[in-house]
Homo-oligomer: A and B are copies of this chain.
Amino acid sequence: MMNIKHVMTGMALSLSLPLMAQWGGPQVQSTVINADNTVTFNYRSQTAKDVKVSVQFAGEKQMTKGDNDVWSVTVGPAKPDIYPYCFIVDGVNIMDASNPEWFPNETFKNSLLDMREGASKTQQVNEVAHGSVDYVDYYSELMGLYGRLVIYTPPHYDRNQNKKYPVFYLVSGTTDTEEVYFKVGRTNFILDNLIAEGKAEEMIVVMPYGNPSLYFPKGQAPRMMGDMFSKTLIDEIMPFVEKNYRTQNDKDHRAIGGFSRGGNQALANGLANLDKFSYLCSYSSFTMQQLTPEVYKNAADTNSKIKLFWLGVGTDDFLYQNAKEYMDLLDKSGIKNTKVFTDDKFGHTWMNARYFLEQSLPLLFK
């Protein structure tokens, strides 16, 4: 049976439910969340010889052909969360054509399974005041093209014309696009909920694309001293945001964070610019400690500049050892930091990335 209580009582976002295919024969519900939190996946094909599903809580699972050319398998139970999945049809990975919720990425295409019942309420769409998520384009003189930013403004931003807000720069991970912290990370709904509960400050969140060299065809990206992302972030994105949004423009009202490679970009840019950022967040990051050796040499000075140095990683993350070594370096150097570990077997995933957002956003700008 469909577990749709939240849908019917107003807790659901419009397009979060996979939708029924309208064309091409009998309809099939591609994902059915059962009462015991198992999930039944269905895929209809008259021609497929082999169909599997790949879902992040279970890996690859063989599906079996039943009536009406529908292949099915029931997987789980799963801890209620939002899971990327795809079908593998005769060896080819495909998104669920009937599900408009997808994972924005450079190199793979997954759909998103949203198990609401029992999942973190802070990640759901609740009846609270909602902010807005803006897609804006800034012109980069450095790159000679427009880059895109996804920008969250908190509830009532437009009405509070005399109010200025702190800004959190939040960087996508390897192969993720600038949409990922919105469409997969649910940063907007997490913040809406935390703000409504009085747990987080109202803030603007700026989500840039962490990999601007891919704006260009292979081999065509301009060569620069230093890396393109850091330059466009500091010299172009920040001025653009501060010109076009009502921001508080000092270090104690700026935070920077990111997931995976984006976490490294956040730490590298944050630590290299402690006159600009007081809050640093690392989510499941690949950390390159050698980038900023000077900050470890004078812990008292560094600690005086940083209000929050937050690091989260899953103990099953393939980057765990790297993250742990970095944490050890911080501790050994006397750099104050906050560590959060998950041991839920989710490893290097957006299930963890959302959890880390939930845990760290309340600590910003306090």
A residues with a Cβ closer than 8 A to B are 2, 4, 7-15, 17, 19-24, 27, 29, 45, 47-48, 89-95, 97-98, 100, 102, 104-109, 125, 127, 130, 132-137, 139, 144-148, 158, 161, 174-175, 177-178, 182, 209, 212, 214-218, 220, 244-245
Contacts and interface: CB of A to CB of B under 8 A. Distances in A.
A101 to B, nearest CB: 10
A214 B19 contact: yes
A177 B15 contact: yes
A135 B136 contact: no
A125 B146 contact: yes
21 contacts: A4-B217, A7-B145, A7-B220, A8-B144, A10-B144, A11-B145, A14-B146, A14-B209, A14-B215, A15-B209, A17-B216, A29-B217, A47-B91, A92-B92, A94-B95, A97-B108, A100-B177, A102-B102, A127-B139, A130-B136, A132-B134
A14 B148 contact: yes
Contact of A214 (B8, B20, B91, B178): B20
A23 B220 CA distance: 19
B98 A158 contact: no
A162 to B, nearest CB: 11
Query: Which among A10, A15, A104, A161 has the highest number of chain B CB atoms within 10 Å?
Result: A15
Nearest to A161: B161
Contact of A13 (B17, B95, B148): B148
Query: Which among A24, A98, A106, A108 has the highest number of chain B CB atoms within 10 Å?
Result: A106
Contact of A148 (B15, B136, B245): B15
Given A20-B218, A139-B10, A106 B95 contact: no
Nearest to A49: B90
B2 A217 contact: yes
A19 B125 CA distance: 33
Query: Which among A24, A244, A245 has the highest number of chain B CB atoms within 10 Å?
Result: A244
A217 B23 contact: no
Contacts of A175: 22-23
A14 B133 contact: no
Protomer copies: 2
A43 to B, nearest CB: 10
B218 A29 contact: yes
Contacts of A19: 106-107, 214
B137 A125 contact: yes
10 closest residue pairs by CB, A with B: A133-B135, A14-B148, A10-B144, A132-B134, A89-B92, A19-B214, A47-B91, A94-B94, A14-B147, A134-B134
Contacts of A144: 7-10
A107 B216 contact: no
Given A22-B175, A91-B47, A12 B218 contact: no
A133 B15 CA distance: 18
A151 B62 CA distance: 42
B218 A145 contact: no
A107 B102 CA distance: 13
Contact of A98 (B4, B93, B106, B139): B106
Contacts of A106: 19, 21-22, 98, 100
A15 B48 contact: no
Contacts of A8: 144-145, 220
Nearest to A150: B135
A145 B244 CA distance: 32
